[in-house]
Structure 1
């Protein structure tokens, strides 16, 4: 796995996700609130927040992807999710990994590691993936 150190742009993306989740958290009541941010190839950033629901509402990463797409971004370079209550950077779930791989196979994902957050290609997170296409 090709883990890379964070860039200034990566740290800016983490900060946007953190601000988003802090401003919109459901609090410490056991609700798993997540914020996410994605960067377009043009440098613009888009944020999203999950919709926690017992049926498994949409993850913050998917909301951020949808927002970016709704605003015209088609090529995305980097994505990150951050947990509420200072939980920091959190890696994407399996469903998110598959969707990222299918829609943005060149995207980099920011992940927590023992050495702090690092950047990795989505293809490293989903080796030998089943490529879906509409």
Structure 2
């Protein structure tokens, strides 16, 4: 089990950005845009993304948010979160996203759902003993 740490005000702000992003861009309860994500840079700036569903396996919202941050010049990121549309709340990253996060941002914190509400955990705790690829 992961040892979730309590959310900070910055974490709650990041969750809200992801929620606003998915709410503004969803196609509704049966739509294909179902997840929004937000990431915070070391300077405090936040970057959002929305997933691009496609039958071939379009990118997850987390990867789109990472790309948005990178395209905006952010190289060091501190925290990431994904939120579902229609009020579904915080979701943990899939395995592919966890590997990408570990490889590019090994110090990043991830906001996860928990039994008593969301909390944070380090990416290394989510993917212990992982293969380490160096970009």
Superimposed CA distance per residue, residues 101-131 of structure 1 (whole angstroms, 9 cap, x where no aligned partner): 0000000000001110000000000000110
SS state at 1:29 partner: coil
Matches within 5 A, 1:1-134: 1-29=2-30, 31=32, 33-134=34-135
Give the count of matched residue pairs: 134
Structure-1 separation of matches of 2:3 and 2:66: 24
CA distance in 2, matches of 1:23, 1:8: 22
Provide the aligned C-alpha RMSD in A: 0.9
Measure the CA separation in 1 of the matches of 2:27 and 2:106.
Answer: 32
Cα contact 1:2–1:120 (8 A) shared by 2: yes
Q: Is the 8 A contact 2:22 2:50 kept in 1?
A: yes
Q: Which whole-Å CA distance do the structure 2 matches of 1:114 and 1:32 have between them?
A: 26
Residue 32 of structure 1, CA deviation? 5.5
Deviating 4+ runs (over 6 angstroms) = none
Q: Please, which runs of 5 or more residues in structure 1 have no aligned partner?
A: none
Deviation at 1:31, TM superposition (A): 3.1
* TM-score normalised by L of structure 1: 0.97
TM-score, length basis structure 2: 0.96
Structure 2 regions of 5+ residues with no counterpart? none
